[in-house]
Chains A and B, each alone.
Chain A
Amino acid sequence: AQSVTQPDIHITVSEGASLELRCNYSYGATPYLFWYVQSPGQGLQLLLKYFSGDTLVQGIKGFEAEFKRSQSSFNLRKPSVHWSDAAEYFCAVGLIATSGTYKYIFGTGTRLKVLA
Chain B
Amino acid sequence: AQSVAQPEDQVNVAEGNPLTVKCTYSVSGNPYLFWYVQYPNRGLQFLLKYITGDNLVKGSYGFEAEFNKSQTSFHLKKPSALVSDSALYFCAVRGDTGRRALTFGSGTRLQVQP
Does B associate with A? no
List chain A positions with a Cβ less than 8 A from chain B. none
List chain B positions with a Cβ less than 8 A from chain A. none
